[in-house]
Amino acid sequence: MDTLNVFLILKRAATVALACAAAAVVGLPGAAQAQPAPSYAQPPGYAQPPSYAQPYGETIRGTVYSINGKYNITVRDSRGYLDNVSLHDGTVINPRGWRLRPGNRVTISGQPSGRTFVADVIDTPYVPYPAYYPYPRPY
Range(s) of the domain holding residue 86:
57-123
CA distances from 85 to 33, 51, 56, 73, 122 (A): 49, 26, 17, 5, 11
* Residue 106 domain-assigned (yes or no): yes
Tens-digit pLDDT string for the chain (139 aa): 566 666 667 778 778 777 767 666 665 555 555 555 444 445 555 555 555 555 567 899 999 999 999 999 999 988 888 999 999 999 999 888 889 999 999 999 999 888 899 999 999 987 766 666 666 666 5
* Residue 61 domain-assigned (yes or no): yes
Number of compact structural domains in the chain:
1
Farthest-apart Cα atoms in the chain, separation? 110
Helix (H/G/I), strand (E/B), else coil: 9: helix
pTM of the entire predicted model: 0.54
* Residue 128 domain-assigned (yes or no): no
* Paired strand residues for 84: 74
- Strands, E assignment, the chain: 58-67, 72-77, 82-86, 92-94, 105-113, 116-123
* Residue 24 domain-assigned (yes or no): no
* Residue 2 domain-assigned (yes or no): no
CATH of the domain at 71: 2.40.50.140
